[in-house]
C-alpha cells in the first residue's frame, strides 16, 4: 500500500485558516486521497476525499498537487471544536467488493489556540 | 440518529476472562469493521465483514473471533483476554460496493485487562 507522511503536530489560532499537509510520493493513479479526523474520546469521522481536482464540502477543502504527490487539507476558519487528530489515507479506487480496508497512520494532532 | 452503537463503553477484565463486544448499525450498511487503537497510535484493523455472512482477517486478528449476526450486528469476542489486548476498540460500517463511500465509526469500547 502506498504510504502517507504527515507532521506529528500543528498549532493554529482560533478563527484563522489551517493548512494540514500530507505527502504521498508513491501514490498510484487509482488512489483516492481520504481525510478522516478523530476528536478526543471519539471514533474517527470522515472529512473529505478527492482524486485529482480540488474538492470542497461543508467541513473543509482539499487541495491536491498537480503531480498528486502531496495534498493539503484546509480548514477555512478553525474553531476549538476542530482540535483533533487528522489522518490522511490513500484508498484504491478499484472495483469495490465491500472489502475496503483503511490504513491509519499516526496522523497530525491539531491544537487550536483560543 | 444513532449510526454505529457500541456496547459496553468501558470494561475491565482479568487475564483469562472472556468477553464479547457488541456493535450495531442502523444505516443498512453492508460492510462492517473492527479496529483497535493503542495509545498514541493509529487504528489497526482486526477483522471485517464485507457483507452479511462473510468475515475476513485484518492486520491483527490473533486472539479475537467475530460473528456477523445479521446485517445490523457485528460482534468481537475475546476468548481468553490478555493484558496486550488492553486497548480502545472501534467498530465501523460502510455501505460497501460503492466506491469511495466513507466508513462511519462508533465511539469505542475502552477495554482494560489486568
Q: Quick: pLDDT tens for A52-66.
A: 989 999 999 999 999
Chain A residue numbers touching B102 (CB-CB < 8 A)? 34, 36, 46, 49
Cβ(A93)–Cβ(A76) below 8 Å: no
Cβ(B36)–Cβ(B91) below 8 Å: no
What would the grid cell of residue A67 be?
Answer: 503531480
Question: Chain B residue closest to A39 (CA)?
Answer: B107
Question: Are the Cβ atoms of A49 and B41 closer than 8 angstroms?
Answer: no
Q: What pLDDT does B1 receive? A: 62
CA separation for the pair B52, B12 (Å, rounded): 30
B97 vs A36, A96, A103: nearest CB = A96
Residue with cell 486521497: A33
| pLDDT tens sequence across B90-102 | 999 998 777 678 8
Interface of A with B (CB under 8 A): 32, 34, 36, 41-46, 49, 87, 91, 93, 96-107
DSSP E strands, chain A = 9-13, 18-23, 31-38, 45-50, 55-56, 61-64, 70-75, 84-92, 108-113
Q: What pLDDT does A2 receive? A: 66
Residue with cell 463486544: B21
Indicate whether A95 pLDDT > 60: no
Chain B residue numbers touching A99 (CB-CB < 8 A)? 31, 48, 50, 56
Average pLDDT over residues A32-48: 94
Q: Distance between alpha carbon A21 and the CA centroid of its chain, in Å?
A: 8
Q: What pLDDT does A91 receive? A: 82
Indicate whether A11 pLDDT > 60: yes
Closest CA to B38 of B114, B107, B110: B110
Question: Is residue B8 reached through a cis peptide bond, with omega within 30 degrees of 0 on the bond before it?
Answer: yes
Residue with cell 503536530: A9
Indicate whether B72 pLDDT > 90: yes
At B36, the pLDDT band (50, 70, 90 cuts) reads very high
Percent of residues, chain A, with pLDDT higher than 90 = 73
Q: What pLDDT does B9 receive? A: 96
Q: What pLDDT does A6 receive? A: 96
Average pLDDT over residues A6-20: 96
Question: Are the Cβ atoms of A101 and B40 closer than 8 angstroms?
Answer: no
Question: Chain B residue closest to A105 (CA)?
Answer: B42
Indicate whether B71 pLDDT > 80: yes
B42 vs A91, A99, A105: nearest CB = A105
CA separation for the pair B92, B26 (Å, rounded): 12
Q: What pLDDT does A98 receive? A: 58
Q: What pLDDT does A106 receive? A: 86
Question: Are the Cβ atoms of B107 and A42 closer than 8 angstroms?
Answer: yes
At A105, the pLDDT band (50, 70, 90 cuts) reads confident
B98 vs A96, A106, A107: nearest CB = A96
Average pLDDT over residues A69-91: 95
Indicate whether B103 pLDDT > 70: yes
Question: Are the Cβ atoms of B102 and A49 closer than 8 angstroms?
Answer: yes
Amino acid at each position: 500500500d502506498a504510504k502517507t507522511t504527515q507532521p506529528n503536530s500543528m498549532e493554529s489560532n482560533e478563527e484563522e485558516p489551517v493548512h494540514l499537509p500530507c505527502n504521498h510520493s508513491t501514490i498510484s493513479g487509482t488512489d483516492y486521497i481520504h481525510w478522516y479526523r478523530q476528536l478526543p474520546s471519539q471514533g474517527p469521522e470522515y472529512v473529505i476525499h478527492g482524486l485529482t481536482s480540488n474538492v470542497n464540502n461543508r467541513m473543509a477543502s482539499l487541495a491536491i498537487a498537480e503531480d498528486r504527490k502531496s495534498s493539503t487539507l484546509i480548514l477555512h476558519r478553525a474553531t476549538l471544536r476542530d482540535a483533533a487528530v487528522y489522518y490522511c489515507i490513500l484508498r484504491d479506487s478499484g472495483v469495490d467488493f465491500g472489502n475496503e480496508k483503511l490504513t491509519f497512520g499516526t496522523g497530525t494532532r491539531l491544537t487550536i489556540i483560543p | 440518529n444513532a449510526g454505529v452503537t457500541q456496547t459496553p463503553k468501558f470494561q475491565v477484565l482479568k487475564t483469562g476472562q472472556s468477553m464479547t463486544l457488541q456493535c450495531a448499525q442502523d444505516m443498512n450498511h453492508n460492510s462492517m469493521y473492527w479496529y483497535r487503537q493503542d495509545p498514541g497510535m493509529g487504528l489497526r484493523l482486526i477483522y471485517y465483514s464485507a457483507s452479511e455472512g462473510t468475515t475476513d482477517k485484518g492486520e491483527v486478528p490473533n486472539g479475537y473471533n467475530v460473528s456477523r449476526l445479521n446485517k445490523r450486528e457485528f460482534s468481537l469476542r475475546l476468548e481468553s483476554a490478555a493484558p496486550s489486548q488492553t486497548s480502545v476498540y472501534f467498530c465501523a460500517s460502510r455501505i460497501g460496493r460503492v466506491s469511495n463511500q466513507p466508513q462511519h465509526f462508533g465511539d469505542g469500547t475502552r477495554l482494560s485487562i489486568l
